[in-house]
C-alpha cells in the first residue's frame, strides 16, 4: 500500500470517532421545543424542578403541625385567672352592664325621692290652702272679741235700766250668734280644773285640800275656741296647794 493510501485511511479513521462524539452534542444543541424549559446544565427543567417541588409541599405541612403544637402549648401555659389588664371582651361588657344597672338604680331612687317630696309639697300646699279658706275669718273675729267683752261688762254693771239692759243683751246675743255660725265657741268650765292649754292663770290662792288643788276659782276674762283651734285663752285665778 502506498503512502498516499495509508494517509487517507488514517485520516478517515480519525475523523469517524469525532463524528460519533459530535452526535450527542448535536442532540443537546437542538433547540428546545415551545413550552419546554432547559436548565443551565442542559437537563430538562421539569426534571430539575421535580424534586424541589416535593420538598416545598412537605415543608408547610411540617411547619403547620409545629405551629399548632406551639399554640396549644402556649394556651396551656396561660393562667386561668387573667389580670384586669387582660380581661376578655365579655367580662368588660359584664362590668359595663353592672355599672349601667347601678347608675339606673341610683337615678330611679332619686326620681322616687323627688316624686315623694313633690307629693308632700303638693299635699301641704293644699292643706294650707284649705286652712286659709276655713280659718279666713278667725283674725277678724278675734279683733271683734273686745266688743263682745264690752257688752258683757255692760250687762253686768249694777244700776242699769232694765229696758236698756234688755237692748244690750239682745245686741250681744245677735253678735255672738253671728260669730257662732262662723265657728266661735266659748271655753266651757268643765270640771273646773286648770288646763294649761286653755287657761292662763294670772292669780292664785292656797288650796284647802287635795281636791281643791288646781281648781279654777274665778274667771277674769272668758276664753274662746274657733272651730278646733284656740282663739283666746281664759284668764283665771287658780287654787294651788302649798
140-197 per-position pLDDT tens digit: 999 999 998 998 888 888 888 889 889 999 999 999 999 999 999 999 876 788 999 9
Grid coordinates standing for 28? 443537546
Indicate whether 174 belongs to any domain: yes
Indicate whether 49 belongs to any domain: no
pLDDT at 6: 52
pLDDT band at 95; cut points 50, 70, 90: confident
Grid coordinates standing for 23? 452526535
199-206/234-240 β-pairing: parallel
Indicate whether 61 belongs to any domain: no
Q: What is the CATH number of the domain that holds 191?
A: 2.30.22.10
Place of cell 426534571: 47
16-47 per-position pLDDT tens digit: 444 444 444 444 444 444 444 444 444 444 44
The answer to whether the beta carbons of residues 172 and 152 sit under 8 Å apart is yes
Collect all residues with Cβ–Cβ distance below 8 Å to 218 and sequence separation of at least 6: 203, 236, 237
pLDDT band at 76; cut points 50, 70, 90: low
pLDDT at 19: 43
pLDDT at 35: 40
106-130 per-position pLDDT tens digit: 999 999 999 999 999 999 999 999 8
217-233 per-position pLDDT tens digit: 889 999 999 988 999 99
pLDDT at 117: 94
pLDDT at 177: 93
pLDDT at 157: 85
Cα-trace Rg, the chain: 66
The answer to whether the beta carbons of residues 155 and 169 sit under 8 Å apart is yes
Mapping DSSP to helix (H, G, I), strand (E, B) and coil, where does residue 189 land?
coil
Tally the domains of the chain: 1
- Give the residue-averaged pLDDT of 132-140: 88
Indicate whether 212 belongs to any domain: yes
Domain hosting 195: range is: 135-240
pLDDT at 31: 43
Indicate whether 107 belongs to any domain: no
What are the residue ranges of helices labelled H in the chain?
A: 3-28, 45-77, 89-134, 138-156, 162-182
Grid coordinates standing for 117? 317630696
Asked if pLDDT for residue 215 goes beyond 80, the answer is: yes
Does the pTM exceed 0.85? no
pLDDT at 188: 84
Indicate whether 225 belongs to any domain: yes
Nearest-angstrom CA–CA distance, 208 and 198: 24
- Angle (deg, nearest 10), helices 162-182 and 138-156: 160
Indicate whether 34 belongs to any domain: no
pLDDT at 200: 92
45-63 per-position pLDDT tens digit: 444 444 444 444 444 444 4
Which backbone phi and psi does 32 adopt, to 5 degrees?
-70, 145
First to last CA, the chain: 194
Name the nearest CA neighbour of 131 among 183, 74, 70.
Answer: 183
Indicate whether 53 belongs to any domain: no
Mapping DSSP to helix (H, G, I), strand (E, B) and coil, where does residue 215 land?
strand
Name the nearest CA neighbour of 232 among 169, 194, 185.
Answer: 185
The DSSP bridge partners found for residue 215 are 193
Q: Between residues 241 and 143, which one has the greater pLDDT? A: 143
Amino acid at each position: 500500500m502506498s503512502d498516499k493510501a495509508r494517509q487517507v485511511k488514517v485520516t478517515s479513521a480519525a475523523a469517524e470517532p469525532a463524528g460519533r462524539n459530535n452526535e450527542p452534542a448535536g442532540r443537546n444543541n437542538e433547540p428546545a421545543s415551545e413550552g419546554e424549559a432547559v436548565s443551565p446544565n442542559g437537563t430538562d427543567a421539569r426534571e430539575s424542578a421535580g424534586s424541589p417541588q416535593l420538598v416545598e409541599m412537605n415543608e408547610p405541612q411540617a411547619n403547620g403541625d409545629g405551629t399548632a403544637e406551639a399554640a396549644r402549648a402556649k394556651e396551656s401555659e396561660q393562667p386561668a385567672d387573667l389580670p384586669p389588664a387582660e380581661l376578655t371582651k365579655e367580662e368588660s361588657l359584664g362590668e359595663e352592664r353592672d355599672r349601667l344597672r347601678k347608675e339606673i338604680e341610683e337615678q330611679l331612687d332619686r326620681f322616687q325621692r323627688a316624686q315623694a317630696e313633690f307629693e308632700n309639697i303638693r299635699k301641704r300646699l293644699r292643706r294650707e290652702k284649705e286652712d286659709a279658706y276655713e280659718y279666713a275669718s278667725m283674725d277678724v273675729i278675734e279683733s271683734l272679741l273686745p266688743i263682745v267683752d264690752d257688752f258683757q261688762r255692760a250687762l253686768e254693771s249694777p244700776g242699769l235700766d232694765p229696758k236698756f239692759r234688755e237692748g244690750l243683751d239682745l245686741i250681744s246675743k245677735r253678735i255672738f250668734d253671728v260669730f257662732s255660725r262662723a265657728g266661735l265657741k266659748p271655753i266651757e268650765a268643765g270640771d273646773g280644773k286648770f288646763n294649761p292649754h286653755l287657761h292662763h292663770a294670772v292669780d292664785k290662792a292656797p288650796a284647802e285640800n287635795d281636791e281643791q288643788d288646781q281648781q279654777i276659782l274665778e274667771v277674769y276674762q272668758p276664753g274662746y275656741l274657733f272651730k278646733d283651734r284656740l282663739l283666746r285663752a281664759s284668764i283665771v285665778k287658780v287654787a294651788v296647794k302649798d
